[in-house]
Structure 1
Amino acid sequence: MLTYETLHLYSGSDLPADDGPDRETVDTILQWASGYLTNPHEDLGRSGPVCPFVSASLRKDLFRVAVHSGTPDPDEVAEMVLRYKDWFGSLEPTEGTGAQFKTVLIAFPDLDDEAVGEVIDGVQLRLKPDFVADGLMLGQFHQLPPEAGGLWNPDFRPLHAPVALLAIRHMVRSDLPFLIDSPAFVTQYEKIFGKK
């Protein structure tokens, strides 16, 4: 387990104790990632896995999960996510080709359907500018699922997950479609990758 102040991260090679309260949530997320995100889906609208980066992240043991029980409010979650953002920058690897596969998922297994929209979608929308400004992406996943449809099939909901969570990763070249709704986001993207 990796620890930073009061925060903890698990990975596939460093799981919580079998009888620990976080184990079921981490197992559920790892099974979802390896069974859903890394595979094609008939409704996706394109070939390849639902998320092209998760396989390498899992294989390199850079797919890390934090579990926070209880029902925090949006302000508490936003503060927590910003602390993970600070930690993300110093998590190894910090450079080289492996760094682009570093992923942190912050799970909130006790959030019910009533809370996920305000807490998960709301916090993601609020903090996205902070992440994009630093060349990072903040994704939201939950059981409802989020309203955003797929890029290739607007009726498909690729952000469906069995546990409500927010995911931190580096921005990659293929992220432009997720940023075009804001000129400031596009400008930041172009600073990193150049103009399309």
Structure 2
Amino acid sequence: MTTPTTSLFLLDHLADDAMTSELARGDLDALRAVADWIETFVVRPHKDLGRPGPVCPFVPGALERNTLWLAPEQLAGQGVPQVVELLNRYQTLFLDTPPTDGDDVDGKVIVVVFTDLPADRAQGLFADALQRLAIPSYGDHGIVFGAFYEGNEGTAIYNGSFHPFTSPVPFVFVRRGVISDWKFFLDNEELLRLWGRRFGESAVSTLAGELRRLPWRAWHD
């Protein structure tokens, strides 16, 4: 498992038998389950989200521009070093896959679907792998990874009782970091520092805009 499949599927491809003829049945079923979850949950509003708009504001634009791909991978019982190696290679694939410049770069994402990974093993495996990847990948390339699996206890930013990261099949997304990611970095000083370095004056303006909407002056008084 040292090389990605490099089989990248748009969601529309999954309904085309000619496009998926070489996929194993289990891989195809897993991709279709993730695609259905994206279309019925991720791109729609939810009453428990705590803010207006879709569950993930990033995904609708990626689907519209055809820059969200699913990629099937089988772990076959392998461990953290192999996951780290595989995701590093998907990072390279992501960086090399058009668009590679312009505004659309920030709107593309590769979803690496681990089609044979039990959900109860995903938590520890993904946590250990992403701990090794998060800082160097973001610092060197501005790349962000995100882990999804059934039972993921991660919560929405605006509602601590809502768990939006519980996908039907374990996967890790690969995307370019965007300025709004600071909300996910608040409890990680190193990532927040790298975010500030990456976005410079725009980072200051973004945080100032958030503070202006909060009644912190009244709290101080």
> TM-score, normalised to structure 2's length?
0.80
Q: Distance in 2 between matches of 1:14 and 1:113?
A: 25
Equivalent position of 2:58 in the other structure: 53
Deviating more after overlay: 87-96 vs 23-32: 23-32
In the alignment, which residue of structure 1 is the partner of 2:210? none
Q: Could you tell me which of 136, 139, 148 is aligned with 2:143?
A: 136
Aligned to 2:72: 67
Gapped regions of structure 2 (runs ≥ 5): 208-221
Q: Does 1:87 align with 2:93?
A: yes
| 1:9 pairs with 2:5 | no
Indicate how the Cα distance of structure 1 residues 19 and 132 shifts in structure 2: closer, same or farther if over 3 A, else same: closer
Structure 2 CA distance for aligned equivalents of residues 84 and 77 of structure 1: 10
Amino acid at match of 2:44: N
Q: Is the contact made by 1:13 and 1:61 (CA closer than 8 Å) also made in structure 2?
A: no
Q: Name the counterpart of 2:213.
A: none
Residue 184 of structure 1 and its aligned partner are, at CA, apart by 2.3
Residues in 1 aligned to 2:134 and 2:114: alpha-carbon distance in whole angstroms: 19
| Offset at residue 32 of structure 1 (A) | 1.1
| Aligned Cα root-mean-square deviation (Å) | 1.8
Q: CA shift at 1:13, angstroms?
A: 4.2
Deviation, structure 1 residue 60: 1.0
Equivalent-residue separation in structure 2 for 1:32 and 1:78 (angstroms): 25
CA offset digits 1:63-99 (Å, max 9, x no partner):
1111112333111111100110111111100111111
Unaligned runs of 5+ in 1: none
Encode CA deviations 1:85-127: one digit per residue, 9 max, x unaligned.
1111111001111111110111112211331111123222221
User: Aligned pair count?
Assistant: 192
State TM-score, norm by structure 1.
0.90
**8 A Cα contact 1:104 1:167, kept in partner:** yes
Larger Rg, first or second structure (1 or 2): 2
Instruction: Note if 1:28 corresponds to 2:24.
Output: no
Which amino acid in the other structure matches residue 23 of structure 2? G
Partner Cα distance (1:178, 1:95) in 2: 25
CA distance in 1, matches of 2:174, 2:59: 12
| Partner-residue secondary structure (3-state), 2:69 | strand
**Residue from 149, 168, 171 that aligns with 2:155:** 149
Q: Give me the identity figure in percent.
A: 27
Matched to 2:105, the amino acid is A
Change (3 A) 1:154 1:54: same
Question: Partner of 2:172: helix, strand, or coil?
Answer: strand
